[in-house]
Structure 1
Amino acid sequence: MEVHVQPRTRSKMFCGCAIAELNAAPNTHVCEICLGMPGVLPVPNKAAIEACLKTALALNCEIPRHTKFDRKNYMYPDLPKGYQISQYDLPVSVNGYLVVGARTVRIRRVHLEEDTGKLIHAGDKLHKAWESYV
Protein backbone atom coordinates (compact mmCIF):
# COMPACT_ATOMS: atom_id res chain seq x y z
CA MET A 1 0.00 0.00 0.00
CA GLU A 2 1.21 3.51 -0.77
CA VAL A 3 -0.06 6.48 1.23
CA HIS A 4 0.53 10.11 0.28
CA VAL A 5 0.37 12.75 2.99
CA GLN A 6 0.81 16.47 2.47
CA PRO A 7 2.80 18.00 5.34
CA ARG A 8 1.41 21.23 6.75
CA THR A 9 4.10 23.62 5.59
CA ARG A 10 3.92 27.25 4.51
CA SER A 11 5.73 26.71 1.23
CA LYS A 12 6.20 24.04 -1.40
CA MET A 13 8.76 21.25 -1.09
CA PHE A 14 11.57 22.80 -3.15
CA CYS A 15 10.86 26.55 -3.41
CA GLY A 16 9.46 29.45 -1.44
CA CYS A 17 6.11 29.60 -3.25
CA ALA A 18 3.07 29.49 -1.00
CA ILE A 19 0.99 26.34 -1.16
CA ALA A 20 -2.02 27.07 -3.36
CA GLU A 21 -5.48 26.84 -1.90
CA LEU A 22 -7.80 24.45 -3.70
CA ASN A 23 -9.82 27.28 -5.24
CA ALA A 24 -6.81 29.40 -6.29
CA ALA A 25 -6.62 30.46 -9.92
CA PRO A 26 -4.40 28.18 -12.04
CA ASN A 27 -0.71 29.06 -12.37
CA THR A 28 -0.75 31.76 -9.67
CA HIS A 29 1.58 30.03 -7.18
CA VAL A 30 4.54 29.21 -9.44
CA CYS A 31 8.12 30.38 -9.87
CA GLU A 32 11.20 29.52 -11.92
CA ILE A 33 11.92 26.52 -9.70
CA CYS A 34 8.36 25.14 -9.99
CA LEU A 35 8.62 25.40 -13.76
CA GLY A 36 12.09 23.84 -13.98
CA MET A 37 13.66 26.82 -15.72
CA PRO A 38 17.32 26.44 -16.75
CA GLY A 39 19.83 27.45 -14.08
CA VAL A 40 17.55 27.26 -11.05
CA LEU A 41 18.39 25.09 -8.06
CA PRO A 42 15.72 23.63 -5.77
CA VAL A 43 16.23 23.86 -2.00
CA PRO A 44 14.47 21.28 0.22
CA ASN A 45 11.87 22.58 2.66
CA LYS A 46 13.30 22.12 6.17
CA ALA A 47 9.85 21.91 7.80
CA ALA A 48 8.83 19.11 5.40
CA ILE A 49 12.02 17.18 6.17
CA GLU A 50 11.39 17.56 9.90
CA ALA A 51 7.78 16.35 9.49
CA CYS A 52 9.00 13.35 7.49
CA LEU A 53 11.56 12.48 10.16
CA LYS A 54 8.93 12.72 12.91
CA THR A 55 6.69 10.39 10.91
CA ALA A 56 9.57 7.97 10.36
CA LEU A 57 10.40 7.90 14.07
CA ALA A 58 6.73 7.35 14.96
CA LEU A 59 6.78 4.36 12.58
CA ASN A 60 9.93 2.93 14.20
CA CYS A 61 11.99 3.43 11.03
CA GLU A 62 15.75 3.42 10.70
CA ILE A 63 17.16 6.83 9.72
CA PRO A 64 20.12 6.40 7.36
CA ARG A 65 23.13 8.67 7.70
CA HIS A 66 22.70 9.92 4.11
CA THR A 67 19.70 10.63 1.91
CA LYS A 68 19.33 12.08 -1.57
CA PHE A 69 16.74 13.26 -4.04
CA ASP A 70 16.34 11.94 -7.58
CA ARG A 71 14.73 13.20 -10.76
CA LYS A 72 11.94 10.91 -11.92
CA ASN A 73 11.37 11.75 -15.59
CA TYR A 74 7.96 11.22 -17.12
CA MET A 75 5.33 13.17 -19.02
CA TYR A 76 1.95 13.92 -17.47
CA PRO A 77 -0.34 16.94 -17.89
CA ASP A 78 0.09 18.08 -14.26
CA LEU A 79 3.91 17.84 -14.44
CA PRO A 80 4.97 21.09 -16.16
CA LYS A 81 8.73 20.54 -16.03
CA GLY A 82 8.76 16.93 -17.25
CA TYR A 83 10.29 15.50 -14.08
CA GLN A 84 9.43 15.05 -10.41
CA ILE A 85 11.92 15.41 -7.57
CA SER A 86 11.51 12.29 -5.46
CA GLN A 87 13.53 9.77 -3.47
CA TYR A 88 14.26 6.23 -4.55
CA ASP A 89 17.48 4.50 -3.54
CA LEU A 90 18.36 6.65 -0.48
CA PRO A 91 15.07 7.65 1.20
CA VAL A 92 14.79 9.56 4.48
CA SER A 93 13.95 6.35 6.34
CA VAL A 94 13.63 2.59 5.89
CA ASN A 95 12.60 -0.63 7.66
CA GLY A 96 9.94 0.53 10.06
CA TYR A 97 6.87 -1.05 11.57
CA LEU A 98 3.55 -0.18 13.13
CA VAL A 99 1.87 -2.41 15.71
CA VAL A 100 -1.90 -2.58 15.19
CA GLY A 101 -3.54 -4.77 17.81
CA ALA A 102 -1.82 -8.16 17.65
CA ARG A 103 -0.40 -7.52 14.17
CA THR A 104 2.78 -5.81 13.06
CA VAL A 105 2.63 -3.92 9.77
CA ARG A 106 6.02 -3.55 8.10
CA ILE A 107 6.94 -0.15 6.65
CA ARG A 108 9.39 -0.36 3.75
CA ARG A 109 10.17 3.36 3.55
CA VAL A 110 9.07 6.89 4.31
CA HIS A 111 10.29 9.39 1.75
CA LEU A 112 9.68 12.89 0.40
CA GLU A 113 8.67 13.91 -3.08
CA GLU A 114 7.12 16.90 -4.73
CA ASP A 115 3.55 16.87 -5.97
CA THR A 116 3.93 19.32 -8.81
CA GLY A 117 0.31 19.93 -9.67
CA LYS A 118 -3.26 18.72 -9.55
CA LEU A 119 -5.77 18.10 -12.27
CA ILE A 120 -9.32 18.67 -11.12
CA HIS A 121 -11.93 17.51 -13.60
CA ALA A 122 -15.39 19.05 -13.69
CA GLY A 123 -18.06 16.57 -12.69
CA ASP A 124 -15.82 14.33 -10.58
CA LYS A 125 -17.86 12.45 -8.00
CA LEU A 126 -15.03 11.70 -5.56
CA HIS A 127 -15.12 14.38 -2.89
CA LYS A 128 -11.58 15.21 -1.69
CA ALA A 129 -10.13 12.08 -3.31
CA TRP A 130 -7.01 14.05 -4.28
CA GLU A 131 -5.82 14.43 -0.68
CA SER A 132 -4.75 11.90 1.92
CA TYR A 133 -4.88 12.47 5.64
CA VAL A 134 -3.18 10.45 8.36
Structure 2
Amino acid sequence: SPVGLLAWIGEKLHEWTDNYPWTPEELITWTMLYWIKGPAGGLRYYKENSVTGPPKDPELRAEFNRLIHPWSPTPHGFSWFPKDGPFPAEWNSIGAKLVYSKKHSKGGHFAAWEVPDEFARDIQNFVTIVLEEEPRLSSLNSA
Protein backbone atom coordinates (compact mmCIF):
# COMPACT_ATOMS: atom_id res chain seq x y z
CA SER A 1 0.00 0.00 0.00
CA PRO A 2 1.20 3.55 -0.59
CA VAL A 3 0.84 4.44 3.09
CA GLY A 4 2.84 1.37 4.15
CA LEU A 5 5.58 2.27 1.68
CA LEU A 6 5.55 5.87 2.95
CA ALA A 7 6.06 4.58 6.51
CA TRP A 8 8.89 2.27 5.41
CA ILE A 9 10.63 4.97 3.33
CA GLY A 10 10.07 7.55 6.06
CA GLU A 11 11.77 5.30 8.62
CA LYS A 12 14.80 4.86 6.32
CA LEU A 13 15.01 8.57 5.59
CA HIS A 14 14.93 9.29 9.32
CA GLU A 15 17.32 6.54 10.50
CA TRP A 16 19.86 6.73 7.67
CA THR A 17 20.30 10.50 7.62
CA ASP A 18 22.08 12.91 9.88
CA ASN A 19 19.14 14.94 11.23
CA TYR A 20 18.15 16.19 7.77
CA PRO A 21 14.83 18.11 8.05
CA TRP A 22 12.66 16.18 5.54
CA THR A 23 9.64 18.13 4.32
CA PRO A 24 6.31 16.40 3.60
CA GLU A 25 6.86 17.07 -0.12
CA GLU A 26 10.29 15.36 -0.02
CA LEU A 27 8.83 12.34 1.81
CA ILE A 28 6.12 11.98 -0.82
CA THR A 29 8.62 12.45 -3.67
CA TRP A 30 10.93 9.73 -2.33
CA THR A 31 7.99 7.40 -1.75
CA MET A 32 6.71 7.95 -5.29
CA LEU A 33 10.16 7.19 -6.73
CA TYR A 34 9.82 3.70 -5.25
CA TRP A 35 6.06 3.30 -5.78
CA ILE A 36 6.06 4.13 -9.51
CA LYS A 37 8.92 1.85 -10.54
CA GLY A 38 7.98 -1.01 -8.22
CA PRO A 39 10.34 -3.18 -6.19
CA ALA A 40 12.23 -4.91 -9.01
CA GLY A 41 14.90 -2.26 -9.51
CA GLY A 42 15.77 -2.02 -5.84
CA LEU A 43 15.82 -5.76 -5.25
CA ARG A 44 17.90 -6.69 -8.30
CA TYR A 45 21.18 -5.63 -6.67
CA TYR A 46 20.60 -7.91 -3.68
CA LYS A 47 19.60 -10.89 -5.84
CA GLU A 48 22.60 -10.57 -8.13
CA ASN A 49 25.13 -9.95 -5.35
CA SER A 50 24.09 -12.48 -2.74
CA VAL A 51 26.42 -15.43 -2.36
CA THR A 52 25.03 -18.25 -0.25
CA GLY A 53 27.72 -20.82 -0.94
CA PRO A 54 30.00 -22.26 -3.60
CA PRO A 55 28.46 -22.39 -7.09
CA LYS A 56 27.14 -25.76 -8.23
CA ASP A 57 28.89 -25.48 -11.60
CA PRO A 58 32.33 -27.16 -11.25
CA GLU A 59 34.07 -24.56 -13.42
CA LEU A 60 32.68 -21.70 -11.35
CA ARG A 61 33.44 -23.51 -8.10
CA ALA A 62 37.14 -23.51 -9.03
CA GLU A 63 36.98 -19.72 -9.31
CA PHE A 64 34.95 -19.25 -6.11
CA ASN A 65 37.70 -17.44 -4.19
CA ARG A 66 38.25 -15.07 -7.06
CA LEU A 67 34.51 -14.38 -7.23
CA ILE A 68 34.29 -13.62 -3.52
CA HIS A 69 37.42 -11.45 -3.29
CA PRO A 70 37.73 -9.72 -6.64
CA TRP A 71 40.42 -7.11 -7.17
CA SER A 72 39.63 -4.24 -9.47
CA PRO A 73 42.44 -2.10 -10.92
CA THR A 74 39.85 0.56 -11.74
CA PRO A 75 40.40 3.73 -9.68
CA HIS A 76 37.99 3.86 -6.77
CA GLY A 77 36.77 6.83 -4.75
CA PHE A 78 34.96 6.63 -1.44
CA SER A 79 33.07 9.19 0.60
CA TRP A 80 32.16 8.06 4.11
CA PHE A 81 29.26 9.70 5.90
CA PRO A 82 28.57 8.86 9.56
CA LYS A 83 24.96 7.71 9.09
CA ASP A 84 25.64 5.63 5.95
CA GLY A 85 25.77 1.95 6.65
CA PRO A 86 27.08 -0.11 9.52
CA PHE A 87 30.64 -0.57 8.35
CA PRO A 88 33.94 1.17 9.09
CA ALA A 89 35.29 3.65 6.55
CA GLU A 90 38.54 1.66 6.55
CA TRP A 91 36.82 -1.16 4.64
CA ASN A 92 36.49 1.04 1.57
CA SER A 93 39.80 -0.03 0.03
CA ILE A 94 39.25 -3.79 0.22
CA GLY A 95 39.43 -5.18 -3.30
CA ALA A 96 39.89 -1.80 -4.93
CA LYS A 97 42.54 0.61 -6.12
CA LEU A 98 41.62 3.42 -3.75
CA VAL A 99 42.72 6.81 -5.11
CA TYR A 100 40.36 9.09 -3.17
CA SER A 101 38.84 8.80 0.28
CA LYS A 102 37.09 11.38 2.40
CA LYS A 103 35.61 10.89 5.86
CA HIS A 104 32.87 13.44 6.55
CA SER A 105 31.59 14.65 9.91
CA LYS A 106 27.96 14.87 8.81
CA GLY A 107 25.62 13.27 6.31
CA GLY A 108 24.15 9.84 5.78
CA HIS A 109 22.99 7.28 3.25
CA PHE A 110 21.32 9.98 1.17
CA ALA A 111 24.33 12.32 1.19
CA ALA A 112 23.68 13.59 -2.34
CA TRP A 113 20.39 14.96 -1.01
CA GLU A 114 21.48 15.93 2.52
CA VAL A 115 24.86 17.54 1.81
CA PRO A 116 24.93 17.98 -1.99
CA ASP A 117 27.82 20.47 -2.05
CA GLU A 118 30.14 18.15 -0.12
CA PHE A 119 29.08 15.16 -2.21
CA ALA A 120 29.65 17.03 -5.49
CA ARG A 121 33.04 18.28 -4.27
CA ASP A 122 34.07 14.68 -3.56
CA ILE A 123 33.11 13.65 -7.08
CA GLN A 124 35.05 16.58 -8.55
CA ASN A 125 38.13 15.77 -6.46
CA PHE A 126 37.96 12.10 -7.41
CA VAL A 127 37.64 12.87 -11.13
CA THR A 128 40.57 15.32 -10.92
CA ILE A 129 42.78 12.59 -9.42
CA VAL A 130 41.69 10.01 -11.99
CA LEU A 131 42.38 12.40 -14.87
CA GLU A 132 45.85 13.14 -13.47
CA GLU A 133 46.61 9.41 -13.18
CA GLU A 134 45.06 8.51 -16.53
CA PRO A 135 46.01 11.24 -19.05
CA ARG A 136 44.38 9.30 -21.88
CA LEU A 137 40.99 10.04 -20.29
CA SER A 138 41.51 13.82 -20.42
CA SER A 139 41.93 13.64 -24.17
CA LEU A 140 38.46 12.07 -24.43
CA ASN A 141 36.98 15.19 -22.86
CA SER A 142 38.56 17.53 -25.43
CA ALA A 143 37.34 15.52 -28.44
The TM-score with structure 1 as length reference comes to: 0.23
Q: Which has the larger radius of gyration?
A: 2
- The structure with the greater share of residues assigned to strand is 1
Structure whose residues are more often helix by fraction: 2
